[in-house]
Amino acid sequence: MNRRTYAAAGAAAIAGVLAAGGLAVGAAGDDPMDDRSAALVQQVDPKKPKNVILLVGDGMGDSEVSLARNYGVGAAGRLNMDALPFRGIVTHYVLSPGPGPTYKPNYVGDSAPTATAWSTGKKTIDGRLSQGPSSAAAVPGDNAAYETYMEIAEKSGKATGNVSTAEITDATPAAPSSHISQRGCQGPADAVASCASETKPNGGLGSIAEQQVDNGFDVVLGGGRARYEQPIPAGAPGAGGTVIDYAQSKGYTYVKNNSELGTVADLDGGKKVLGLFNAGNMTKEFAPLDVTLAGSGGENFRCAEGNRLASEPSLSVMTDKAIELLEDDPDGFTLQVEGASIDKQDHAGDVCGQIGETLEFDRAVGVALEFQKAHPDTLVIVTADHSHSSQMTYANQDPEGEYATLQGKDGSPLRVHYGTAAGEGQQHTHTGATVPVFAQGPQAANVVGTLDQTELFPILLGKNPSTLPRETQVQTTTVTTPGKTVTTPAPPAPAAKPGKPRVVLAALGSVRRADLRAGVEVALVTRDATKLSFTAKLGGKTVYSNRNARAASSEAFRIRVRNAKKGTIQVTAKVTGPAGTTTARKSIRVR
C-alpha cells in the first residue's frame, strides 16, 4: 500500500469504529425515550487527530443553514452538517483600530479578521489578515505573533490544502496563508498600489498571492486567476514574470479547468498543484433570484439549477480531489475548504444564489464526512466566519424592505427577507449574531457550548489529550489471520444480561484500484453469534459474498476485484444469535 501499512490503517479504522458509537453496548435505539448519553460518550475521542478538515461556509449563520434545509431537504429533513454529533455556537467580534495596547471590540466584522481569529488564535481589525491591530487600516501591525494553524501544520510535516469558490486570494483562504494589513492587496500590482511598505522590494512579505506560493501549501484550488496573472515587480523574486510563473518555478503544477484537475493523480516526489478556475470568483450553482421591495419569485417558484460552468469544478469535486491528493502523506494533512458565495450572494440579495451555494457547501461536507467515516483519525469541523442578512419570515405578510418567496421542498411557501441594505439593489451587510460550529472525530468534543472564534485555533492544531474515565476507554487486541496480522478490537465485554449478538468490522479506509487485484482484507470480531453473512458491493454490484460463514470470535475475508473503477466498496456483516440479529457496515474508498 502506498506509504501505509495494513496494520496502521487497521488500527485507525478500529479506533474509529468503536468511537463512532453505532456498535457500542448500550447505544440508544430508535425509541425516542432511549437516553443517548452512552452513545454520545462513545463518540468522545481525546486523541490528537492525524488529519484536520475545516469547512467554512462564508456568511453561513443559522438562518442560512435553516433556509437551505427547508428548501433543499424539507423541514423534517437533515443536511449533511446536521449529522455531526457535537455542536456549539461561536462569537466572532473583532477589534477596532486604536492606539493600543488594548482595543475596543467591533461587534460586526468582515471576513478578514474573523478568519484570522481561527487561523491564529488572535483577534485583529477589519480588513487585516493574520497581522496584529494598529491605530488605522493603513498602518501595518505585527506579523510575528500571528503564525497560522496551516503554517504550523506545514512546518510539522503535514500535507496542506486550501480550497475556495472565491478568489483564492480572498479573505478567508488568505488568512491561513498570508500576513498583510489590507485584504485587497491580493496580487503584486494590488500590493504596490495599496500596501507599498509590505511589498517584497520594500522588505515586506509581498502580496497575498506571492505569500501563498512562498508558503508552499500542497494543494491550492479556487478562483482568482487574474490576481496570479499580475506581474511581479522589479526587486522581488520572480520579477518580470507573473505569480503563476513564480509558482511553477517553485514546483507547482498549474491547472485551469475541471478536465486538467482530473489529470492530477498524486503529489509523489514533492509535487504541488495550483488550480485557478476563474479570473475572479467561481461561478455559482443556481441562477439568480434577486429580492425586490415588491417581492420577487412566488409560492410555486423553484430556483434554476445548473448555472455553474462545466469547465469549473464544484466545491464538492475540489474537496474530493484535495483529499485524494493529500491523504497519502504519512504524517497526515490539514485542509481548509470555503464555500465563499453564500456570503457573496447574501450581499447581493440573491436568494437562489445563496441557497445553491449553501447546498453545494453541504455536499462538500458530505465528502469530508465520507472520508472521516473511513479514516476515523480525522477531525471534521464545520463553521462560518460571521452571520448575514437573510431571514425567513411569515409567508402571508409583506415585510418592509426587500424580499422573495420560494416554494420549499415540502411544497409550502418560503418567504425570505433582507433588511440591511440602504436601498433597493444595494449591498446587504454582515450581522453580529453567533454562528454554528459542528464537529466529528478526535477531540470534536471540544466543540460544544459557546466558544469564541479564537478558541478554534488550538482545536485545529490538536490539544493535549486528556484521559477518559476507565469505563469509557476502548480496548483493542491483535489477532492473526492467514498470511496477515491485523489489529482488531477485543470482543465486547460480556453484558450483565444476554443481549443481541455483536459484530465489529475493520479494514483499510481506502485502497488504490490496482491494489484490489491482490485484494483488500476485512477483519471482524463477533460475540454471541451463531450465524454470519458477509457481502461486499462496489457500484451496486456484488464483488464478494459469503452468506453462510462460521460465526467465530474473529474472522477475515479478502475482497479481490479486477479492473475496479473509482467508488466505494460497501461491506456488510450480518450476525444472528439466540437474542436476535445485528448488522455492521464498513466503507472502503477505491481511488
CA-based torsion, 333, 261, 267, 239: positive or negative: negative
- The DSSP code sequence of 321-377 is HHHHHHTT-TT-EEEEEEETHHHHHHHHTBHHHHHHHHHHHHHHHHHHHHHHHH-TT
Determine how many CB atoms are found less than 10 A away from the CB of residue 197: 12
Q: How far is CA 372 from the centre of its chain?
A: 10
CA nearest 44: which of 432, 466, 330? 466
Decide if 472 contacts 134 (C-beta within 8 A): no
Half-sphere exposure of 494 (CA within 13 A, CB side): 3
**HEC letters along 520-560:** EEEEEEEECCCEEEEEEEECCEEEEEEEEECCCCEEEEEEC
Contacts of residues 581-584 at CB distance under 8 Å and 24 or more positions apart, as own/partner, are: 581/500, 581/501, 582/23, 582/500, 582/501, 582/502, 582/503, 582/529, 583/503, 584/22, 584/23, 584/503, 584/504, 584/505, 584/524
Active site residues: 111
CA nearest 460: which of 437, 477, 493? 437
Q: Which residues contact 72 (CB under 8 A, 6 or more apart)?
A: 79, 355, 358, 359, 362, 409
Decide if 169 contacts 227 (C-beta within 8 A): yes
Which amino acid is located at 413 in the chain? Answer: P
CA nearest 227: which of 208, 206, 255, 201? 208
Measured at the CA of 311, the angle between CA 188 and CA 228, to 5 degrees, comes to 5
Q: Which residues contact 256 (CB under 8 A, 6 or more apart)?
A: 225, 275, 276, 277
Measured at the CA of 244, the angle between CA 239 and CA 246, to 5 degrees, comes to 40
Q: How far is CA 587 from the centre of its chain?
A: 19
> Which residues sit opposite 86 in a β-bridge?
439
CA nearest 477: which of 156, 14, 13? 14
The three three-digit cell numbers of residue 22, written as one number: 453505532
Q: Which residues contact 501 (CB under 8 A, 6 or more apart)?
A: 526, 527, 528, 529, 530, 551, 575, 576, 577, 579, 580, 581, 582
CA nearest 335: which of 50, 53, 49? 53
Q: Which residues contact 392 (CB under 8 A, 6 or more apart)?
A: 63, 66, 67, 70, 414, 415, 416, 417
The three three-digit cell numbers of residue 470, written as one number: 476507565
Is residue 11 helix, strand or coil?
helix
Q: Provide φ and ψ at 527, rounded to 5°.
A: -145, 140
Which amino acid is located at 62 in the chain? Answer: D
The DSSP symbol for 188 reads H
Q: Provide φ and ψ at 427, rounded to 5°.
A: -70, 135
